[in-house]
A and B are shown apart, each in its own frame.
Chain A
Amino acid sequence: MINGSDTAFVLISAALVMLMTTPGLAFFYGGLVRRKNVLSTMMQSFFLLCLLSVQWVLFGYSLAFGPDIGHFIGSLSWIGLKGVTMAPNPDYAATIPHLLFVTFQMMFAVITPALITGAFAERMKFVSFALFSLLWATFVYDPVCHWVWGAGGWLKLRGVLDFAGGSVVHITSGVSALAAALMLGKRRGFPSEQLPPHNMTYTLLGASLLWFGWFGFNAGSALSANEIAVSAFLVTNTAAAVAALTWLVIEWLSAGKPTVLGGATGAVAGLATITPASGYVSVDSAIAIGILASLFCYTAVVFVKQKFTYDDSLDAFGVHGIGGIVGMMATGLFARKFINAAGNDGLFAGNFAFFQEQALAVGAVILYSVALTYIFLKIIDMLFGLRVNDEEEVMGLDHTQHRESAYTLLD
């Protein structure tokens, strides 16, 4: 039975998640790059919104959520959304139109490949980026989505819990980002030269929009305007706030001053980490999860990256990859049935088996994402090359990939 308030809520949540890609991620990443690359960075997010919106309704949804094949992928019987109507699909959401579930999930499919763009910022050819993203969305995102959320998906059948996309969105994109960063190589001048963010106000604006949109991402994943949605909303906010404060404290102690970038990054790390746990944990657990998020992500971004000097330019791995992994394991620790009867009890309630399944999911998703990312980038490199040439990189991608200037110096 279609419920009006559930439908209204999920409609708005879908719009909130769309906001996370553009303007959220576009500004968050845009402010972090140099001014000569800001448009190309924002273009990547905007373009993926357009590209994946079409891919999803043509065949992405069918592959991700369609009738199961081998517990690995959905079939193409819902190609072009054939057979998908307003009538609710009880496998997924019993009180909202099936087409609304499609719409809501679409926004997740849109933002996930956009997260990866942070790894290869300021140096990837536009055509290669577009082709890679399309292949990745179809052969990494759609299958993994099926494994964890699709009816018959093998991880779902094993009882793996991922409320809003810790594995499906953050681990897939985060580890693929690391693979991409390593395969594309470092930007010219990294790490010896200074490549500071050109506009920190954009980054803070983007982070704020991400936080706002994340309420749609997490609370909306309840697919109903119910108590789970309320709980998810509150724990999301709590984790984000605690993670931001934790990052600021760590930064104050270790680098000398709390920075705006640190606060924004900490908040996003907290949001990524709470994502899989958001429908299963209490507010107290969310505080702990927020602290863990910043402890691990700060270590990855500041210490590990500097030690190994890989150029994950905008910390897609350090924030989303690590955040997703920590979040999935935190779900295995902190989940409680009294928060969500459809969830499970975690390790801290004595349930080791579930914790193990979470670890299995993390491992499987990492291996698969990295392997396919590697293969796709290798192929595209042979066809088109991945990086712009040295001269184009120095001139900037706005001008060389798009023939545009973000800011005119004269009128």
Chain B
Amino acid sequence: MKFVIAIIQPHKLDAVMKALDEKEIYLKTVTNVLGCGRQKGISEVYRGVREAGNLIKKVRLEIAVNDIYLDQTIEAIRSAAQSGKIGDGKIFVLDLADCIRIRTGEWGGEAIG
């Protein structure tokens, strides 16, 4: 089992969700985050004080998948989230030790669903 964390541009979320749904990967968690990469971020000005911004809004997508679905998941996210410009984001893949469905108590591959 793998746990996929994707940091993507907020405006790409709809496209990524659609692409994942098409591959029948339905279970996801989404959060708003702030992040930066090698870009310096956007600075804001308040009464003349320039706030050295370094963090830009991103969206974090978390998906648990069985190993056979990993490649499709990554491909769905990558193709939908890509714009070719700096700031597209990253996908991280972690080994998932276990997964439990709370409602039924199922463990492992079946629980990922």
Chain B 37-68: CB-based contact to A (< 8 A → 1; otherwise 0): 00000001111111110000000000000000
Chain A 269-312: CB-based contact to B (< 8 A → 1; otherwise 0): 00000000000000000000000000000100111001000000
Asked whether B48 lies within 8 Å of A196 as measured between CB atoms, the reply is: no
Does A197 sit within 8 A of B, measured CB to CB?
yes
Does A194 sit within 8 A of B, measured CB to CB?
yes
Chain A residues within 8 Å of chain B by Cβ, number? 19
Which listed segment binds B: A63-71, A175-183, A253-261?
A253-261
Asked whether A302 lies within 8 Å of B46 as measured between CB atoms, the reply is: no
B76 to chain A, nearest CB (A): 31
Asked whether B47 lies within 8 Å of A301 as measured between CB atoms, the reply is: yes
Asked whether B51 lies within 8 Å of A254 as measured between CB atoms, the reply is: no
Give the CA-CA distance A194 to B49 in the complex, in Å. Answer: 9
Asked whether A259 lies within 8 Å of B49 as measured between CB atoms, the reply is: no
Which residues from chain A contact B48 at a C-beta distance below 8 Å? 251, 254-255, 298, 301-303, 306
A44 to chain B, nearest CB (A): 20
B39 to chain A, nearest CB (A): 18
Q: Identify B49's interface contact among A256, A257, A306, CB under 8 A.
A: A306
Give the CA-CA distance A315 to B47 in the complex, in Å. Answer: 9
Chain B residues within 8 Å of chain A by Cβ, number? 9
Give the CA-CA distance A306 to B45 in the complex, in Å. Answer: 13
Does A262 sit within 8 A of B, measured CB to CB?
yes
Asked whether A256 lies within 8 Å of B47 as measured between CB atoms, the reply is: no
Question: Which residues 225-263 in A have Cβ within 8 Å of B in the complex?
Answer: 251, 254-257, 259, 261-262
Give the CA-CA distance A360 to B47 in the complex, in Å. Answer: 31
Give the CA-CA distance A298 to B49 in the complex, in Å. Answer: 12
Asked whether A261 lies within 8 Å of B47 as measured between CB atoms, the reply is: yes
Q: Is the interface of B mostly helix, strand, loop or mixed?
A: strand
Which residues from chain A contact B46 at a C-beta distance below 8 Å? 196-197, 259, 261
Question: Which residues 47-97 in B have Cβ within 8 Å of A in the complex?
Answer: 47-52
Which residues from chain B contact A62 at a C-beta distance below 8 Å? none
Give the CA-CA distance A265 to B47 in the complex, in Å. Answer: 8
Which residues from chain A contact B50 at a C-beta distance below 8 Å? 255
Chain A, Cβ-Cβ closest to B44: A196
Give the CA-CA distance A13 to B84 in the complex, in Å. Answer: 59
Give the CA-CA distance A251 to B47 in the complex, in Å. Answer: 8
Q: Identify A256's interface contact among B45, B51, B52, CB under 8 A.
A: B45
Asked whether B45 lies within 8 Å of A259 as measured between CB atoms, the reply is: yes
Q: Identify B51's interface contact among A196, A265, A301, A303, CB under 8 A.
A: A196
Give the CA-CA distance A251 to B51 in the complex, in Å. Answer: 15
Which residues from chain B contact A194 at a C-beta distance below 8 Å? 51-52
Which residues from chain B contact A259 at a C-beta distance below 8 Å? 45-46
A38 to chain B, nearest CB (A): 16
Question: Which residues 184-242 in A have Cβ within 8 Å of B in the complex?
Answer: 191, 194, 196-197
| Nearest 10 pairs of A and B residues by beta carbon | A302-B48, A194-B51, A255-B45, A301-B47, A196-B51, A196-B46, A261-B46, A255-B48, A302-B47, A261-B47
13 sample A-B contacts, Cβ–Cβ < 8 Å, listed by A number: A194-B51, A196-B44, A251-B45, A251-B48, A255-B48, A256-B45, A259-B45, A259-B46, A301-B48, A302-B49, A303-B48, A306-B49, A315-B47
* Chain B positions near chain A (C-beta within 8 angstroms): 44-52
* Chain A positions near chain B (C-beta within 8 angstroms): 191, 194, 196-197, 251, 254-257, 259, 261-262, 265, 298, 301-303, 306, 315
Given A256-B45, A302-B48, A306-B48, 17 more A-B residue pairs with CB atoms under 8 Å apart are A191-B49, A196-B44, A197-B46, A251-B45, A255-B45, A255-B48, A257-B45, A259-B46, A261-B47, A262-B47, A265-B47, A298-B48, A301-B47, A302-B49, A303-B48, A306-B49, A315-B47
